[in-house]
């Protein structure tokens, strides 16, 4: 596996850490980008010896698409992972890495898209939420689904307690999806993704 991976993150970077700690994926992470200079994800990358870049948060998202794609190409990046990245990547960026961008989302899409999925599930009174890892297309939280796993919501759950279990699930599913992508084991048929070598593929 000779992929060069860029991870884009806006916050604490726990999913980034799960990738950095993975023996197969970690050595392939060539760049970490954030739109927030104080994001702890950047510190995690520095501790791992991975180069970091902070994006200009004042620019409109669409204005960054082509420069960002060009920057990643210059660094030899061929695979992109959105791990808690809170900016929307637009069509120009998606097309530049078509079929090579993964996103992890803390719900069972299409339920609760957007940036407050855990809180939204609690507010709705849902009994189950979960985690989705999907390929990124031009729509937000919409692309073909690679993996999903439910997370039960307990009667006494609050945001903090539910978030812990959602994160635990994310940290298992995201590395599996990244490995499958870089090993060429994802077969996309419309909205269906068959993961070669996985049960039920």
pLDDT at 84 > cutoff 80: yes
pLDDT at 60 > cutoff 60: no
Residue 154's pLDDT is: 97
Q: Which residues of 50-89 are buried (b: 16+ CB within 10 A; e: fewer)?
A: bebbebeeeeeeeebbeebbebbeeeebbbbbbbbbebeb
Name 135's Cβ contacts closer than 8 Å, sequence gap at least 6. 99, 101, 102, 103, 143, 144, 146, 186, 188, 193
pLDDT at 52 > cutoff 80: yes
Pull the structure tokens for residue 189. Answer: 């048929």
Mean pLDDT, the chain, whole residue set: 93
Residues 174 and 178: their CA atoms lie apart, in Å, by 6
Residue 45's pLDDT is: 98
Domains 1-98 and 103-201 are alike in CATH topology: yes
**Longest CA span, the chain:** 50
pLDDT of 39-50, one tens digit each? 999 999 999 999
Pull the structure tokens for residue 116. Answer: 């407050």
CA 174 to mean position of chain CA atoms: 7
β-bridge mates for residue 152, sequence order: 128
CATH class of the structural domain 1-98? alpha beta
Q: Taking the domains of the chain in order of start, what are their residue ranges?
A: 1-98, 103-201
pLDDT at 59 > cutoff 70: no
Q: Are 85 and 8 in contact (CB under 8 A)?
A: yes
Q: Are 175 and 131 in contact (CB under 8 A)?
A: no
Instruction: Establish whether 105 is a catalytic residue.
Output: yes
Q: For residue 88, which of 103, 110, 72, 75 has the smallest C-alpha distance?
A: 103
- CATH fold for domain 103-201: Rossmann fold (3.40.50)
Residue 36's pLDDT is: 92
Question: What is the model's pTM?
Answer: 0.93
Residue 22's pLDDT is: 96
CA torsion angle 143 92 79 4 (round to 10) = -170
Residue 58: band (very low, low, confident or very high) from pLDDT cuts 50, 70, 90: low
- More confident position, 119 or 88: 119
Q: Of the listed 22, 105, 134, 171, which one is catalytic?
A: 105
Name 73's Cβ contacts closer than 8 Å, sequence gap at least 6. 96
């Amino acid at each position: 596996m000779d992929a060069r991976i860029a991870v884009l993150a806006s916050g604490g970077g726990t999913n980034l850490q799960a990738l950095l700690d993975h023996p197969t994926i970690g050595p392939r992470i060539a760049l970490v980008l954030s739109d927030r200079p104080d994001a702890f994800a950047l510190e995690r990358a520095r501790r791992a010896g991975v180069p970091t870049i902070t994006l200009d948060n004042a620019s409109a998202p669409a204005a960054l698409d082509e420069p960002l794609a060009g920057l990643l190409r210059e660094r030899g990046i061929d695979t992109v992972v959105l791990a808690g990245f809170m900016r929307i990547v637009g069509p120009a960026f998606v097309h530049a890495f078509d079929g090579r961008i993964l996103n992890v989302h803390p719900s069972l899409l299409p339920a609760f898209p957007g940036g407050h999925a855990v809180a939204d599930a609690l507010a709705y009174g849902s009994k189950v939420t979960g985690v989705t890892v999907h390929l990124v297309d031009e729509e937000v939280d919409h692309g073909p689904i690679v993996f999903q796993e439910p997370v039960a919501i307990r009667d006494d759950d609050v945001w903090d307690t539910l978030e812990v279990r959602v994160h635990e699930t994310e940290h298992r599913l995201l590395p599996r999806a990244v490995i499958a992508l870089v090993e060429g084991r994802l077969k996309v048929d419309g909205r269906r993704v068959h993961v070669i070598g996985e049960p039920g593929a």
